[in-house]
Amino acid sequence: MEIIIRQDADAASHAAARVVARLVREKPNAVIGLATGSTPLMLYRELVRMHKDDGLDFGEISTFNLDEYVGLEKEHQQSYHSFMWENLFSQINIKPENVHIPDGMAADIPASCAVYEQAVIDAGGIDLQVLGIGSDGHIGFNEPTSSFASRTRIKTLTQQTVADNARFFDGDESKVPPPCITMGIGTIMDARMNLMLAFGEGKADAIAATVEGPVAAIMPASILQHHPSAKVFIDEPAASKLQLADYYRWVYDGKPEWQADA
């Protein structure tokens, strides 16, 4: 795991955006996995800026989103469909047919999950997966004790996640649908690179456990210790409980120029 600690969320997001942009330039038809939540917003804003100012071209890029609530129409303001179109897709030149987001309204959810898994395979696999992390350590909506071998499937949110996400639903926990569809941890681990973002003190415990704790299903993100190419971009508050923070800073600051955005 490579741990990149930046002063604030903005700087960390910009550093992450440079990694995504480098992939988009080197492989114009790359397959990118995307996340929702408040964490990736600055990353998406920077990608939009790079598209508008620098001509970063998403014309042949395909995307697969991690998750979606079950029972929310695509048009619902809090669906992850709405989130992605509002915050990224409507502002770049991605082709709608290259966008994939689990369908929370599918009549046959297990079948739609199998189709989603197959679509990832048919696209050639995910080159780079963007991840946030729940305060309980979830990635996508793979809640604690999710199988490390899991594939796209239906899950039930923990009460902690329902409480965390209620802020998007007028603060009303009863409006947060507990069932969801999420890419599995096995699916996430198949991505060629994983790029995790986490900001704020509220993520410090989960980040410390993910990076320096034991690999355990109770802390789903800890599986990234087994990934050959996982980068974790965090701000100082999210880094505040890491034992080896000084080491990570020293390594990153000493990277040679040719490795800088790798």
* Residues classed as catalytic: 67, 136, 138, 143
Q: Which of 29, 38, 118, 145 binds ligand GLP (CB under 6 A)?
A: 38
Tell me the closest approach of the beta carbon of residue 54 to ligand GLP, in angstroms.
26
Q: Which of 102, 104, 140, 220 binds ligand GLP (CB under 6 A)?
A: 140
Tell me the closest approach of the beta carbon of residue 251 to ligand GLP, in angstroms.
25
Q: Which of 4, 48, 61, 133 binds ligand GLP (CB under 6 A)?
A: 133
Structure tokens at 201: 């003190």
Q: Which of 20, 35, 204, 238 binds ligand GLP (CB under 6 A)?
A: 35
**Considering the rule CB under 6 A, would residue 210 count as an interface residue with ligand GLP?**
no
* Among the listed residues 85, 66, 83, the one whose alpha carbon sits nearest the alpha carbon of residue 180: 66
**Considering the rule CB under 6 A, would residue 65 count as an interface residue with ligand GLP?**
no
Tell me the closest approach of the beta carbon of residue 65 to ligand GLP, in angstroms.
9
Which region, judged by CB under 6 A, interacts with ligand GLP, from 30-38, 49-57, 112-120, 206-214? Answer: 30-38
Give the side-chain half-sphere CA count within 13 A for 157. 24
Residue 92 makes CB contacts below 8 A (sequence gap 6+) with 47, 48, 51, 56, 58
Side by side, which strands form the sheet with 153-156?
67-69, 179-182, 153-156
**Considering the rule CB under 6 A, would residue 165 count as an interface residue with ligand GLP?**
yes
Tell me the closest approach of the beta carbon of residue 246 to ligand GLP, in angstroms.
26
Q: Cα(64)–Cα(54) distance, rounded to whole angstroms? A: 24
Q: Are 173 and 16 in contact (CB under 8 A)?
A: no
What pairing do the DSSP bridges indicate for beta strands 62-65 and 99-100? parallel
Residues forming a β-bridge with 33: 64, 129
Strands (E), 45-192: 62-65, 67-69, 99-100, 128-131, 153-156, 179-182
**Considering the rule CB under 6 A, would residue 130 count as an interface residue with ligand GLP?**
no
Question: Given the rule CB under 6 A, which residues bind ligand GLP?
Answer: 35-39, 66-67, 132-134, 140-141, 161, 165
